[in-house]
Chains A and B, each alone.
Chain A
Amino acid sequence: MIKRFIFISFLVVLGNISFAHNYYFSFAEVEYNDFCGCFESSITVTTHDFEQVLRKNNLLNKNLETSLNDYNLKQNIESLINEGFQITIQNRNVEFHIEGNEIGLNGLTTFYLSSNPIDLSEEILFTYSLLMNEFPEEQNKLTFIFRGQKTTLNFIANQFTHSIKLEK
């Protein structure tokens, strides 16, 4: 067995929130747009969970609703999403950019994302581990729409990647 070094960062300590908690989910809807040759996506998270992760990473002081005009915060959120929500085609990761967001009064926040143009291949690999490092019970669900056909994939802590084969 090879010993590995742990690279740790010195970030703010956040309390262990281990009370009965009933959120822990995010939903993504992804479509490949043939016209732009790019992916268009929405990701809906529970605001409470997302804020907690941002605070833990020292990225947020107040609440999301009043902080989202901050350019740096947006950049950091984009990085966080690109880390936990990846589409890989022929070993190339698709990079997403946040185009907008919507903070719902029902406790859900949706981010709207699009990617640079990328050619599809027969197989697409989805990695959707967003918030799973912080919340082991997180369950993410992705619906991929390709030429009108929908495929829904489930992601949990011990299975956060799925690949699908396209019938082009």
Chain B
Amino acid sequence: MKKILLILIIQLISVNFFAQKKFAQLDQELPTPNEYRNAAGAPGHHYYQQKADYKMNITIDDETQKLSGFETITYTNNSPDKLDYLWLQLDQNIYSVDSDSKIIEIEKMEDFKTVGDIRKKTFYYDGGFKIEEIKSSNGQKMRYFINKTMMRIDLDKPLLPNTSITFQIKWWYNINDRMAVGGRSGYEYFEKDKNYLYTVAQYFPRMCVYNDVTGWQNKQFLGRGEFTLPFGDYDVNITVPADHIVGATGECQNLSSVLTAEQRKRLDQARKSDSPILIVTQSEAEKAENDKSKQTKTWNFKATNVRDFAFASSRKFIWDAQNVAVGGKNVLCMSYYPKEGNPLWERYSTKLVAHTIKTYSKYTVDYPYPVAISVHSKWIGMEYPMICFNGGRPEADGTYSEQEKYGMWGVIIHEVGHNFFPMIINSDERQWSWMDEGLNTFVQYLTEQEWERGYPSRRGPAYMIADYMRGDKKTISPIMTNSESIFQFGNNAYGKPATALNILRETIMGRELFDFAFKTYCERWKFKHPTPADFFRTMEDASAVDLDWFWRGWFYGTDNVDIAVEEVKWFQLNTQNPETEKAFKKEIDDQKDLFIGDERNKTAIKETVNEKDKNIDDFYATARKNKYVVDALDKKEYQEFIAKTDAKDLEYLKANKHFYEVNFSNIGGLPMPLIIEFTFVDDTKQVVRIPAEIWRQYEDKVSKVFILDKEIKSLRLDPFLETADTDLNNNSWPKEVLPTKYQLFKQQTIKENPMQRQKRLDELNKQ
């Protein structure tokens, strides 16, 4: 009910005397800025990074599925420190018999309930690097020590600042059967035509990162936290069966030795085409599948300023390509896939690569590399510089579900997108999965939405993370958690950060400020090694938006968003005009509930004594009857009030404004803006947005007065589902209980599937 506001000066919430926590600055949590990383979030004036250049000869034995390699590494120490030893990563050792990854796996007897389970658990595979030799450039053997997935090479003399060292490693390993052992890379065997498809990565001893943040980043590879790698130049010879087609990081340098003249002609055509051109056709691939050459060929690839090198090789490959122009440069977008990937792959893969490169370049940095490749690899999605391995396989009969199609689209966009995070903006994946997966998933969402209007993205919109964020916090990790220790990896490292960035863009900062700050971060840290603090600081530095509370809540905490509308009070100004106020008083009195006895007495008592006898009513009784009548004295006093009141104040009084005091409580604990949609009695609507800083002093409860031109019928908090509020049932006044998913399902009147509906439509059209 409307209340009369007697005091003209409206006081908002009073000052909080308690220490605030959720809006405390992040100073304690962030590292102290220094000459390597400054307080603005940019590389400091003494920023440095190491360089690792590789020359490699790699051979795949298709008979034994064995990979042999010989590499010459030139490592340049750009740090101010002298290095007594070097650390290299031996990722294949995750498949060693004594691998920690197997030992630390939690097991229970339910894991052994089928023969398949037991076979899988006891499966023996002689994996892991077999290091044969490590020697210096002058042929001297070097001392080394292998600690599981890390290898230390001891130097005779320390490697001084601004000097390089060159050394050589010879090794081999058994390539893993990806279908039996799993893994980000390996081989897939096609029983039907007895051929192999190799997706090869983490196949060579790789230098660890040494920098100002971690020293040597030599945290063991346990399987989830991915890779942290320095940039460098690669020159790689890959020897494979002569009928294999090889796609790799970088550009092939000897096309005339490995492709036919016809294939080279098609490739040249593709370089000028804005739609995919086949370089190797399905029939050519099928012929190779049957012929199975016993000869070998060596492909040579070079790549500059990349953090890794991967490749794919198979005689089953169909290969297509098209050009996309980015930042005034041409990028050759390519796909390699077996016939089992069709019809999905020939239709979509390369177009998706081109779209991804173009869209990511808009939001981050111009794609700097000459090629971008998508390779079809059953089940997985895994990324490397310029090349990625992606799932999305139709049924054996060539049909596919719509979900499979969207799954394939999503994985290609995501994995090609990884070229930007972390291949170019080279964060530490071993420590912080969210810095590549989260940022990439965010731009993936933007890219999907530009591919198809209303694209059913899995992650991005705020409301989609609500289920994950609600409930007991014991099994929810903050985003700022080491990759190996995260509960719910997908929601934590992909979904929540992507949602958080979406909320920053749509709700907290706005698109213009966000896009500028985000691009600034990408430009500052391209071809460098950013940390979380560099990201947090740059986003604030480039936008003048204090986001410490946001990082604290969304990245360092596990609170969820649940803001409730607790109470709404309605006021109007006392105009002092007796005509208005007495009429209003009458209206209020008339609306008061009547005691049932009084109601019945209206008719049951025909006439009371004072109604019959006019002498009964005295002055008071008469005054009570006339209390709504405006008399001369009322009018005179009002005229006197007008005379002494400022004209502008009188305007306020006559404006007939409606004052609503709304009380909000923050049940979930995560502060967020208040977005309120008012629906007026005439069914028009108005949206008011209040920044999250309204919670800066009182963290649990706040109130706000809204001065509106019209009376409201209802109000609703978060009407556009943009804050990830986990309970929408307490967001409305009057209270509105939303149906459960089950109830929504039962309300559906259409009980037919889309094909049944189409059938009915076809029949109708025939009539």
Contacts and interface: CB of A to CB of B under 8 A. Distances in A.
Contact of A8 (B113, B402, B476, B493): B113
B742 A29 contact: yes
B215 interface: no
Contacts of B113: 6-9, 133
Contacts of B395: 62-63
B740 A136 contact: no
A153 B472 contact: yes
Contacts of B181: 15-16, 18
Interface in B96-113: 105-113
Interface residues of A, number: 62
A8 B112 contact: yes
B11 interface: no
B119 A13 contact: yes
B523 interface: no
A2 B490 CA distance: 40
B402 A105 contact: yes
Interface residues on B, range: 35 or more
Nearest to A152: B471
Given A16-B181, A18-B183, A110-B741, A141 B470 contact: yes
A127 interface: no
A11 B117 CA distance: 9
B729 A148 contact: yes
B184 A20 contact: yes
A84 to B, nearest CB: 11
Interface stretch (A72-80, A95-103, A116-124): A95-103
A75 B403 CA distance: 23
Interface string A46-61: 0110000000100000
Interface string B138-182: 000000000000000000000000000000000000000011111
B488 A24 contact: yes
Contacts of A133: 110-111, 113
Contacts of B403: 47, 63, 65, 103-105, 107
B475 interface: yes
Contacts of B224: 20
Contacts of A12: 116
B379 interface: yes
A152 B472 contact: yes
A154 B745 contact: no
Contact of B742 (A103, A108, A112): A112
Given A65-B403, A112-B742, A106 B182 contact: no
Nearest to B737: A148
B115 A8 contact: yes
Given A6-B112, A29-B740, A63 B470 contact: no
B127 interface: no
A41 B178 CA distance: 38
A24 B729 contact: no
A116 B61 CA distance: 61
A141 B471 contact: yes
Interface string A131-168: 00100110101010100101011101110000000000
Contacts of B406: 105-107
B741 A29 contact: yes
A73 to B, nearest CB: 15
B532 to A, nearest CB: 20
B727 A150 contact: yes
B468 A141 contact: yes
A86 interface: no
B118 A19 contact: no
Nearest to B726: A152
Contacts of A1: none
B114 interface: yes
A70 to B, nearest CB: 14
A25 interface: yes
Contacts of A107: 403, 406-407, 410, 458
Contact of A66 (B382, B401, B410, B740): B401
Contacts of B743: 31, 40
Nearest to A41: B742
A81 B601 CA distance: 64
22 contacts: A8-B113, A10-B114, A11-B115, A16-B180, A19-B379, A19-B382, A20-B489, A22-B437, A27-B467, A42-B745, A103-B403, A104-B403, A107-B406, A136-B105, A136-B107, A137-B489, A139-B488, A141-B468, A143-B471, A152-B470, A154-B471, A154-B476
Interface of B: 105-120, 123, 178-184, 223-224, 226, 379-380, 382, 395, 399, 401-404, 406-407, 410, 437, 456-458, 467-468, 470-472, 474-476, 487-491, 493-494, 727, 729, 737, 740-743, 745-746
The 5 A-B residue pairs with the shortest CB-CB distance in the complex, in nearest-first order = A22-B490, A18-B182, A152-B471, A13-B116, A42-B741
Given A12-B116, A104-B403, A105-B402, 7 more contacts: A10-B115, A20-B226, A31-B742, A41-B742, A44-B467, A107-B407, A148-B729
